Amino acid sequence: MLGVNTNTVLRALRLLRDEGLLEVGRGHAITVSGTPERGVMIVKMKELVELGPRNGYQRDELVAMLRALPGQQS
């Protein structure tokens, strides 16, 4: 109807899902599940989880480092 390629739409929906902004259910069910701020946090956390092992850190070590930051609560 809008002349947008189906693959483009599916790629955009996948990206929004990966950023925590959408939940894709069975069939055609798509619901908004987050905020833009949450999406930014998820993207940054994924970057950290990818960067950690390249620098010799396990996921549990990253979590411990995050908890040890000033002003953080367990």
User: Residue 74 is part of which domain span?
Assistant: 35-74
User: Same structural domain for residues 55 and 28?
Assistant: no
What is the overall mean pLDDT for the chain?
A: 86
Of 23-32, 43-52, 63-72, highest mean pLDDT: 43-52
User: Same structural domain for residues 40 and 74?
Assistant: yes
User: Same structural domain for residues 28 and 44?
Assistant: no
pLDDT in tens, 32-56: 888 888 878 888 888 999 999 999 9
Q: From CA 54, how far away is CA 26, in angstroms rounded?
A: 36
User: Same structural domain for residues 30 and 1?
Assistant: yes
Per-residue confidence (pLDDT) for residue 73, from 0 to 100: 62
pTM (two decimals)? 0.55
At residue 50's C-alpha, the angle toward residues 42 and 57, to 5°, is: 115
* Number of domains observed in the structure of the chain: 2
Closest to 45 (Cα-Cα) out of 67, 27, 66, 22? 66
User: Same structural domain for residues 46 and 61?
Assistant: yes
User: Same structural domain for residues 16 and 46?
Assistant: no
User: Same structural domain for residues 22 and 40?
Assistant: no
Place of tokens 């990966």: 18
User: Same structural domain for residues 39 and 72?
Assistant: yes
Tell me the β-bridge partners of 31: 23
